[in-house]
Every structure is written in C-alpha cells, then in structure tokens.
Amino acid sequence: MEQKGLDFGEKARVLPGKRRALSVTELTDRLQGVLETEFFDVWVEGEISNLNQASSGHWYFSLKDDRAQIRAVVWKTAARLIKWKPKDGMRVLARGGIKVYAPRGDYQISVEVLEPLGVGSLQQAFEELKEKLAKEGLFDPAKKRPLPMLPRCIGIVTSPTGAVIQDILRVLQRRYANLGVLIYPARVQGPEAAYEIVQGIRALNRFKSVDVLMVARGGGSLEDLWPFNDEMVARALATSRIPTLSAVGHETDFTIADFVADLRAPTPSAGAERVVQAKEDMAARIDALTHRLDAAARIRLQRTRARVDAVRSHRVFEAERGRLRTYAQRVDDLSRRAETGVRRRLEQAGERRRRGTERLEAFRWDRLAAARRERIDGDARRLSEALRGRLRAHRADLARAVGKLESLSPLAVLQRGYALVFDERGTLVQRADQVAAGDVIDVRLHEGALRARVTPPGKADE
Amino acid sequence: MSADETPTFEAALKQLEEIVQRLEKGELPLEESLVLYEQGIKLSRLCHGKLEEAEGRIELLMKDARGDLMTDEAGKPRKTPFGQ
C-alpha cells in the first residue's frame, strides 16, 4: 500500500483564521471517503454510450441522460454474470458503487448488476407500487407503532428450513431465552410465497399471546425477494393488529414490506436483535430507576440527619435518633439486597460479554471486529467499574451516616436522670420565663414522658 | 392474562417510576419516604422477576398437505416443538 499523504507537518500552510490548506491528496482522500461511503450501493438509470468491451473482459462505458453523464465500468467477474448483450443507446438500470480514482482525480461507478430497462421491469413495478401505497398513506411515519415494551411471544413468518430461522433463534436463545416463539412456516420465494406470507400474517394475528410479528427472509436477488414486494403482503402487514417487523434480505435490500412494517430491520438476525433489545433496555431502565430510588431515599435520610445535627446541642431528638437509625438500617438492608441484584446483573452482563467474545472469535472476524470488541470490552469494563464505584460510595455514605448518628447519643444524658421539658408547642424549655403558671408542659424522661402543669414559683429551689 | 393482585410488568414499571419521582421531589415525611422506598425496591424486584418469567417455548404451526393449518379436536391450531 502506498503511503497516504497524512503527514503535512512542515508543508502545511496556515491560512488566516487558523485554517490550514489541504494537500491535493488529502482533499482527494476526503472526497473518496465521502463518495465511496455515501454511494457504495446505488441504483442508477441511464443510457449506455461509448461502450468498450475490452479483450481483458472488462467493459467500459458512460451512463448518461440528457443533462449529465458518469463513467462506468463492469469488471470481468461481474460482466460474466450478465446474460444479455448491452449496446450503445440502450436504457439500462445499473447497480453498483462509486469509486474514486485518485491519480486522475475522477470517479466512476463500478457496476455489479446491469439490467435492460423494458416493460415489466421489476424495479419499475416496485417503484409504481411504492408510490401507490405511499399515496394511500401506508408508509406514514405517524402510523408506525412501537414494538411492545416487553415482548412475550414473537410470531415469525418464514421458512422453517434453512439458515435464517436458525440465525434468528440463535439470537433469541442467547439473549432472551424466555421469549415465546411461534413460527408460521411459509415459502418465502416463488409464486406461492406471497399468498403464504399473507396467510401467515393473518394466522398469527389470531393468537392473543403473540405481541410482535416478524416476516423474515435471507438475502437474494430482486426476484427472490419479490414476494415481499407484493401488494397483498403489504396490505396484510398494514392491517396487522400486532406490531410488525420486516427483516428481509441484506442491509442494502429494501422491499415494500420494509416500508409498510412498523419497523424495518436490515437483516433477520438484526430483527431478532431488535426484539431482544427491548428486554435489555427494560433491564437497564429498571436498574436506573432502582439507583435513583436508592439515591432519593439516601438524600432524604441525609436531610433529616442534617436537621438532627443542627439541633444537636438541644439533645432533644433522642426518639428521632432511634428512628433514624432504624431507617438507616432499613435503607442499608434494602440497598444491600438491591446491590445483590445489580451484582448479579453485572455478572450476567459479564457472561453475555464473554459469550459474545467467544462468538466473535469463533467467527474469526478481521481487525474491525477486534477493534469493536475491544471497545465493547472497554465500555463494559468502564460501566461495571462505574456501577461498582457508585455502590461502594453509597455504602460508604451510609456507613458514615450511621457512625455519625452513633456519636450523638443524647440518650446517654437522659439515662443519667436528666429530663427534657417542652412547652405545649413542643419547644424545648430552657429558661423559666418561657412558661407561665398554669401552662401545660411535657417532660420527657429516659423512659416515658410526663404531662404536668406549672404551679406559681415561690418555693423555687434557689 | 390473570387478574390477580400482582401488577403487570407495565403497571409495576409505571408505579416504580411514579415512586421514584415522588421520592426525588423530597417533600414527603421521612416515614412515608421510607415506606415508598420499600415499595419501590419491591417493585424493582418484581420487574426484574417479570423479565425472566414466562416459559419461552419455540413452536411451529403445523400445516396439512393442502397448506392449511392443522387443528386439534378443540379446533385449536396444532403446534409442534421446533428445535434448533
């Protein structure tokens, strides 16, 4: 690989306003990044011109319409699969990705699929149906229903044989083993498929237990996916009582079913992921609520403790203190139990991560996967550290709170035979002139309390 | 399905949310706060429990040779366990 021009150190020019000039290579790199990412898979319709079918087996031509043109290439491997003879002037539908050729600073479309445009073209039928249903409002985003908060049973219309259902079940089993699954076996290819899919959608709608409905099929050609572009299928999905999920083909395939369904997943296993995600989101939400609950109780407790601290010199709050301690213990106890739950969940997350890691390794993915795994590992580690740290902090807080409460002990004073005197409003009486003869006072002793009436002073002890 | 005294998952989650919000306002007397807190912890456990409950069977609907769903004596569609 040649060295890309990423080292601009000394050569870089600094323009006014701290802007730096790009090198041509850098600019081209960026254009390449944008173009090849944004247009890695496009359909384009146009007319062939300047066709050159070279002896190497590659085809070169331009695709044009009345206002623009783009260079196109069909490499030998793709050209071999094209069973018809293209000619200059023919209208075609090409599918491919934009490639930038840096040395010449131009771009072209690298064509994978080339179809003659004629009557009955599937793509045209697709567009027409799409437009018709869009006009009827079948794709209306406002009509999209969310998947259930916590799905209990998923109905799946798909072929019971083959890899797709296995892929789906593998995801469900791994991450949501207690989800019910009801499969309606249907052909997903060929002339009977659309009818069977419609029957499946309707049949599953009659099961009260089913609360999310997925139609699924693996990747294939436009013809293979055709049943999912059927109008009857679209209408069956649109009238489904149960929220629908369309998981058909590969990421780049779009079918009418995708547009009508409440949710479109790029692939069948991604569809399954979406369903299990609901459960994991819920678990996270409950955890978050539990943490907030914990924090709120703790703050409430701390506030009371602060009040006790503030009037500590009065030594009045012995009863409150005892109660507070009980409360603190209850919070401590409950949060310990909550913590056990959180720890278990952390362990489960760790287990999931471990299994995920194994799976990734089993697939022997490339460096991209390794990098992603590292990131997930890091995230999970940070998350569990953060959670553990927070729990530790909470427990330390609580221990401190209880310790502080121990230290105030006004009870000891009462035990020595002292008493606390309150007036009728509950104010602590510290000077004789706070009460008058005839007032009722409350006297709190080490054990129990007395209610008394003040008699005129005179034989005061002084 | 059943109308017994344990709330549904959705109801329990909603209650938990309400309790957290009330507690976070911090305007309640201590005793009441603690009672709410206990309720909240119970609901939290209930919700986690609900996440794991249910049987999770994997079943396949059965079709006859004509492609219609097969039914049992009670007229219910017949299912068969589906293995991986």
Q: 3-class secondary structure for A201-259?
A: HHHHHCCCCCCEEEEEECCCCCCCCHHHHCHHHHHHHHCCCCCEEEEECCCCCCCHHHH
Instruction: Say if A152 is an interface residue toward chain B (CB within 8 Å).
Output: yes
Picking from A205, A207, A184, A208, the residue whose alpha carbon sits closest to that of residue A196 is: A184
Number of domains in chain B: 2
In this structure, what token pair is assigned to residue A157?
A: 């219309």
B46 and B14 in one domain? Answer: yes
For residues A301 and A328, the answer to whether their CB atoms sit within 8 Å is yes
pLDDT of residue A233: 97
Q: How many angstroms separate the Cα of A144 from the Cα of each of A182, A238, A242, A282?
A: 23, 10, 11, 21
Long-range contacts of B34-40 (CB under 8 A, 24+ apart): B34/A297, B34/A327, B34/A330, B34/A331, B37/A293, B37/A296, B37/A297, B37/A330, B37/A331, B37/A334, B38/A330, B38/A334, B39/B15, B40/A289, B40/A290, B40/A293, B40/B16
B68 and B45 in one domain? Answer: no
DSSP annotation of A380:
H
User: Which chain B positions have a beta carbon within 8 Å of A149's beta carbon?
Assistant: 9-10, 13
Residues 6+ apart with CB under 8 A from A392: none
CA pair distance A318, A411, nearest whole angstrom: 6
User: Which chain A positions have a beta carbon within 8 Å of B28's beta carbon?
Assistant: 300
How far, in whole angstroms, is CA B45 from its chain's centroid? Answer: 12
Q: Do B60 and A334 touch (CB under 8 A)?
A: no
B47 and B14 in one domain? Answer: yes
B27 and B64 in one domain? Answer: no
Domain range A124-276, CATH class: alpha beta
Bridge pairing between strands A420-422 and A19-20:
unpaired
In this structure, what token pair is assigned to residue A266?
A: 């790029």
Map tokens 């209650």 to a residue. Answer: B15
**Three-state SS for A1?**
coil
Q: CB contacts < 8 Å between A and B, how many?
A: 126
Q: Do B79 and A282 touch (CB under 8 A)?
A: no
Residue of A165, A195, A293 to mutate, testing the B interface (most B Cβ within 10 Å of its Cβ): A293
Confidence of residue B2 (pLDDT cuts 50, 70, 90): very low
B42 and B73 in one domain? Answer: no
Q: Do A289 and B28 touch (CB under 8 A)?
A: no
B61 and B25 in one domain? Answer: no
Q: Do B48 and A283 touch (CB under 8 A)?
A: yes
- Decide if domain A40-118 falls under CATH 1.10.10.10: no
> Is the pLDDT confidence value at B3 over 50?
no
pLDDT of residue B38: 86
The beta-carbon neighbor of B61 closest among A173, A184, A323 is A184
B39 and B64 in one domain? Answer: no
DSSP sequence for B21-56? HHHHHT-S-HHHHHHHHHHHHHHHHHHHHHHH-S--
B34 and B4 in one domain? Answer: yes
pLDDT < 70 regions, chain A: 1-16, 118-124, 307-324, 327, 334-335, 337-347, 349-416, 457-462
B63 and B38 in one domain? Answer: no
B42 and B2 in one domain? Answer: yes
In this structure, what token pair is assigned to residue A93?
A: 């539908």
pLDDT of residue A435: 87
B77 and B47 in one domain? Answer: no
Residue A418 phi, psi dihedral angles, 5° rounding: -80, 160
> Is the pLDDT confidence value at B4 over 80?
no
B84 and B65 in one domain? Answer: yes
pLDDT of residue A245: 97
ipTM: 0.83
H or E, element range at A302: helix A268-310
Q: Where are the domains of chain A?
A: 40-118, 124-276, 311-410, 419-453
CA pair distance A256, A237, nearest whole angstrom: 10
Nearest residue of chain B to residue A151 (CA atoms): B51
Structural domain of residue B30, as residue ranges? Answer: 1-53
Q: Do B23 and A289 touch (CB under 8 A)?
A: no
